[in-house]
Amino acid sequence: MTELPIFTQLSYLAAAALFVLSLKWLSAPTTARRGVAAGEIGMALAIAGTLLLPDIVSYRWIIVTLLVGTAIGIPLAYLMPMTHVPQRTALSHSFGGLAVGLVGTAKYYLWAAADPARLTHFTIGVICFEVLLGFLTFTGSLMAFGKLQELLPTRPIVYRGQNVVNLSLFALALIIAVYLTIYPLTSSLFPALIALALAFGVLLILPIGGADMPTVIALLNSYAGLSASAMGFVLENKLLIIAGALDGSSGFILSIIMCRAMNRSFTNVLFGAFGQAAATQTGSEERPIRSASPEEAADILLSAARVAIIPGYGMAVAQAQHKVRELFDQLTRRGVEVKFGIHPVAGRMPGHMNVLLAEADIPYDRLLEMEEINAELSHTDVALIIGANDVVNPAAKNDHASPIYGMPIIEADKARTVMVIKRSMNPGFAGIENPLYYMDKTLMLFGDAKSFIGEIVKAIAAQKS
């Protein structure tokens, strides 16, 4: 490979440092904006350095593809609402996986035809790894997008022997990859490897329910990063190796954090079909519940000294984050201390609730992680739950027979009064009833979260300070 120009070497070095700093700063809400800016500057430097490589013969198609990518990326960023960030993230992973898979495929056939000596055992092994992960990330992320967008059923799609079929396909893909590594010029098997990777990506996501999407998004992010790192070895690009490794390792660590937050293993998330028994429980209508009007809820909130707001996916669906900000402002003006409890897997992607509340300019210091808010709930007057289900279900602590037993939850049941905004008494994605809804201290506030909170805000504003 031709020696890199000095500007390219310096830009790659700076970009690598910025990528590391970006991950560091993105780990805290107060520095997240700085982290995003560092990542953007690092990527701009990486692209600029790459465009100066002496190997480039013509810029025509590079410019065309940059324009096409820009034409797609800008509308995705500006037109997609913040509530659809999980879907946009899944699409981004899909595009990344497709790009990696196509580059690996192109390199294999180009070298097989023009320079077979370059297809060493190591090189073809890395190409197979890159193509396998890239294409399964492509179709798997498209499936995740379909589930998040509710174009596909959000609950697990299962059939008898499903795990055996999935693992058999993956094993067959690995066998082909090993064979190609030993006999690199057996090009007739390469399309089969691609087809198996594409099929496995679809089948991998089918049995995964909506409640597991935060973990799946993080895992697909890890796959995309690892495949990009492999592409760096193929292209002999050190920056791509570094960036892919950072992406892959951080995504994997985040997946582990998500699994711990649900007290679940990777195998249970990927092959457990969690939530498939939804709606099999009946009789919830026969159990007594207490409900309240917006005016009654406003009175209770105004009489409280401390309020904990616990958001969930229902807040995202209703796009209620700005109404939540109005409620926060009204209560704090009246001297009520308001804090937010954020469960790690609330929503459909890691940090989903943080993103939505940040969009509504909720102060960062009011957003508490699960352990922090749990330490305060026993002396909290009101816990207001907005569209959260399984992450506040006390069955996770008390019912050994519950499928979510052992999952760490936000212990809203410790508050003196609990109010839950929900459209209906339907269970969450785990498909089980929540005993919290039937406690004497609990009031159910039925309705759309955005509308109901708006009515509470009006009721508070109508009262004299």
Q: What is the mean pLDDT of the chain?
A: 87
Q: Which of 159-163, 288-292, 367-371, 440-444 has the lowest mean pLDDT?
A: 159-163
In the predicted model, what is the mean pLDDT of residues 454-465?
A: 86
The pLDDT value given to residue 278: 44
Is residue 332 in a domain?
yes
89 pLDDT exceeds 60? yes
The answer to whether residues 230 and 371 belong to one domain is no
In the predicted model, what is the mean pLDDT of residues 56-60?
A: 89
Is residue 307 in a domain?
yes
Answer with the residue of higher pLDDT: 64 or 261: 64
Largest CA distance in the chain: 83
The answer to whether residues 260 and 293 belong to one domain is no
Q: Name residue, tokens 């594409």.
A: 198
The answer to whether residues 311 and 194 belong to one domain is no
The answer to whether residues 190 and 331 belong to one domain is no
Nearest to 384 by CA among 320, 463, 317: 320
The answer to whether residues 111 and 226 belong to one domain is yes
Global model pTM greater than 0.85:
no
The answer to whether residues 144 and 204 belong to one domain is yes
The pLDDT value given to residue 53: 87
d(CA 4, CA 463): 70
Domain end, chosen from 276, 299, 332, is at: 276
Helix (H, G, I), strand (E, B) or coil at 23: helix
The answer to whether residues 181 and 328 belong to one domain is no
The answer to whether residues 170 and 233 belong to one domain is yes
In the predicted model, what is the mean pLDDT of residues 11-27?
A: 93
Helix (H, G, I), strand (E, B) or coil at 310: strand
Per-residue confidence at 261, pLDDT binned at 50, 70, 90? Answer: confident
Per-residue confidence at 26, pLDDT binned at 50, 70, 90? Answer: confident
- Could you tell me if 259 and 269 are in contact, meaning their C-beta atoms sit under 8 angstroms apart? yes
The answer to whether residues 123 and 234 belong to one domain is yes
d(CA 297, CA 449): 13
- Could you tell me if 236 and 171 are in contact, meaning their C-beta atoms sit under 8 angstroms apart? no
The pLDDT value given to residue 192: 96
The answer to whether residues 58 and 197 belong to one domain is no
Residue span of the structural domain in which 200 resides: 93-276
In the predicted model, what is the mean pLDDT of residues 425-442?
A: 82
Dihedral pair phi/psi, residue 383, rounded to 5°: -105, 115
Instruction: Just list the catalytic residues.
Output: 390
In the predicted model, what is the mean pLDDT of residues 379-386?
A: 95
The pLDDT value given to residue 27: 81
The answer to whether residues 290 and 389 belong to one domain is yes
Is residue 448 in a domain?
yes
DSSP labels, 403-455: TTTT-----GGGSSEEEEEESSS---TT----GGGGSTTEEEEES-HHHHHHH
284 pLDDT exceeds 50? no
Total number of domains constituting the chain: 3
In the predicted model, what is the mean pLDDT of residues 142-150?
A: 87
The pLDDT value given to residue 281: 46
The CATH number for 444's domain is 3.40.50.1220
- Burial tier of 435 (Cβ tally within 10 Å: 0-12, 13-18, 19+): middle
Contacts of 26 by beta carbon, 8 Å cutoff, 6+ apart: 32, 35, 36, 39
In the predicted model, what is the mean pLDDT of residues 146-154?
A: 82
Nearest to 213 by CA among 431, 429, 406: 429
Domain end, chosen from 242, 276, 310, is at: 276
Is residue 84 in a domain?
no
- Burial tier of 333 (Cβ tally within 10 Å: 0-12, 13-18, 19+): exposed
The pLDDT value given to residue 16: 95
The answer to whether residues 353 and 420 belong to one domain is yes
**Alpha-helical segments (H) within 52-84:** 60-79
The pLDDT value given to residue 211: 64
- How many residues are present in the chain? 465
The pLDDT value given to residue 358: 87
209 pLDDT exceeds 90? no
